[in-house]
Amino acid sequence: MSDKLKALNAQGYARIKAEGDIIRLDAAEHITEKTKDLFLVVDRIVTKDDEDFFNRLADAIQTAFFEGKGECFIESLSSASSNKEMRHFSNKFELDGITFLEPNVHLFSFNNPYGACPKCEGYGDVIGIDDDLVIPNTALSVYENAIFPWRGESMSWYRDQLVNNSHHFNFPIHKPYFELSEAHKSLIWNGNKYFEGLHTFFAELESKAYKIQNRVMLSRYRGKTKCKVCHGKRLRPEANYVKISGATLTDLVEMPLDRLSLRFKQLELNAHDHTIAKRLLTEINNRLSFLSNVGLDYLTLNRKSNTLSGGESQRINLATSLGSSLVGSMYILDEPSIGLHPKDTERLILVLKALRDLGNTVIVVEHDEDIMKEADEIIDIGP
C-alpha cells in the first residue's frame, strides 16, 4: 500500500480520503490494505459560473474516471459539516451489476469473432445430438416409444420415469410428438424434478464414454444439429439486448421478407433517431423491395444459401445487381422464371427491364411465353 501511495504522490496527487477524513499523502503512513472507505482525492474545486471552472471540473472528472477505472465520486460540501452529499457515477457499460459488451458494427455480424456465437462460431450448427435421429417418427407419442434411445429393456427406465410421473405436471403422453407444444418438447429435453431429460441422459452417456456400448449409442444419435446457445441464429446472446421497435435483430431476420418490409415502412422514430437512420432505412427499404420484386418475399434473411433452389439463387443475385446500380455490364440469366407464379413473372419482367434501362445488356435463356413477348430481340435456337 505504501508503494501505491508513493506512486500517487509522484503523479502529483496530494490527498486521499480514508474513513471519512481527508489526509495528505505524505502523512498517510498508517494507511493499510485493511483501511475502509479509501478514496483518492483528484481535485477540490470551488463552484463558480465561469468557463475556467467548467474546464477544470471536466478535466478532474476525466482524470477521476481514469484512475477509478470507470468509477467516479463527487462529494458536495457546504459550510455546515453535517450537510454532505456524495454521488457515485460510472461510465462502464453495465446495469445492476451486469457488464454488457459495448455495441459496435461487429457485434451484429456472425462473420466476425466479436459478434459470432462462441459455441458454434457463427455457423448456427454444431456436431451434437441430432433431434431427428433421437425422435425419427414424430407421429408416435411418448407412450408409443417416440423417443428412440429410451426403447428396450435397459433404457426403458428413463421413459417409464416420464410416463409414470406425467400426471404431476400434466404432460400428454398419448399425444403424437408433432402435436406437442414447444413447452412440452422443451420439457422432454430438459427434464424436471420428476424425470431426467434427454440432455441429462446424453450427458451421462458422455461422462461414461470409456464404455464401448455408450460410445456406440452416442454415435447413433450424433449429427449436425442446431446450436443450443444461439438456437441457430448465429449471433452471440448479447446482440439480442439491442432492439429495434421492440424486436431484436434475430427476430427480424427470421421474419418473411414481406412482413419485414412492412415493419420497416411502418417504423416510427423520433426526430433525432430519424436523422441518424435516414440513409440506412433508404438502403434497407430499397433492397427489400428489390427482393420482393423478383418474387422472393416468402424467404427469410437467415435462410442458408445451400437450401435455395437454382432459380432463387439467380433472383437473389439479380436483386444484388439492382442494388449495386452497375452500368455497362452484361447479365446472362438461365430461366429465372422457374418456380414463379405468373403474377411474380410480371414483376420479374419489370426488374429485367429496370436492369436494362440502367444501361446494361440482359440476355435471358427462357421458355416462358410472357418473358419472350417482352424481349427486345429473340434468338430462336432449335427445331
Burial of 382 (0-12, 13-18, 19+ CB in 10 A): exposed
List the chain domain ranges: 2-94, 125-226, 255-383
Least confident stretch, 8-22, 162-176, 241-255, 358-372 = 8-22
Phi/psi for 203 (5° steps) reads -65, -40
CATH number of 255-383: 3.40.50.300
Report residue 242's pLDDT band, with 50, 70 and 90 as the boundaries: confident
Q: Is the pLDDT at 362 greater than 60, yes or no?
A: yes
Mean pLDDT of 245-253: 88
Grouping H, G, I as helix, E, B as strand and the rest as coil, residue 248 is strand
Candidates 129, 285, 159; CA nearest to 219 is: 129
Q: What is the pTM of this model?
A: 0.61
**How crowded is residue 319: how many other Cβ atoms within 10 Å of its Cβ?**
21
Cα gap 299→309, rounded to integer Å: 12
Per-residue model confidence (pLDDT) at position 379: 92
Residue 95 grid cell = 446495469
Of all residues in the chain, what percent carry a pLDDT higher than 70? 97
Q: Which fold has domain 2-94?
A: Ribulose 1,5 Bisphosphate Carboxylase/Oxygenase (3.30.190)
Per-residue model confidence (pLDDT) at position 266: 87
Domain 2-94 and domain 255-383, same fold? Reply is: no
Q: Is the pLDDT at 82 greater than 60, yes or no?
A: no
User: Terminal CA-to-CA distance of the chain, rounded, Å?
Assistant: 96
Mean pLDDT of 262-270: 88
Report residue 43's pLDDT band, with 50, 70 and 90 as the boundaries: confident
Report residue 176's pLDDT band, with 50, 70 and 90 as the boundaries: very high
Candidates 238, 251, 223; CA nearest to 125 is: 223
Per-residue model confidence (pLDDT) at position 18: 77
Residue 158 grid cell = 428413463
Report residue 310's pLDDT band, with 50, 70 and 90 as the boundaries: confident
Q: How far is CA 238 from CA 61, 227, 251, in A?
A: 30, 16, 14
- Is pLDDT larger for residue 169 or for residue 99? 169
Per-residue model confidence (pLDDT) at position 256: 92
Beta carbons of 13 and 41 less than 8 angstroms apart: yes
Residue 309 grid cell = 433452389
CATH number for 125-226 (one of 2.30.30.90, 1.10.8.280, 1.10.8.100, 3.20.20.80): it is: 1.10.8.280
Grouping H, G, I as helix, E, B as strand and the rest as coil, residue 165 is helix
Least confident stretch, 96-105, 112-121, 160-169 = 96-105
Beta carbons of 141 and 174 less than 8 angstroms apart: yes
Average pLDDT, the chain: 85
HSE-up of residue 345 (Cα within 13 Å, Cβ side): 16
Per-residue model confidence (pLDDT) at position 364: 92
Per-residue model confidence (pLDDT) at position 79: 52
Q: How far is CA 359 from CA 54, 258, 352, 355, 356, in A?
A: 59, 29, 12, 7, 6
Candidates 185, 213, 215; CA nearest to 199 is: 185
Q: Is the pLDDT at 282 greater than 60, yes or no?
A: yes
Report residue 127's pLDDT band, with 50, 70 and 90 as the boundaries: confident
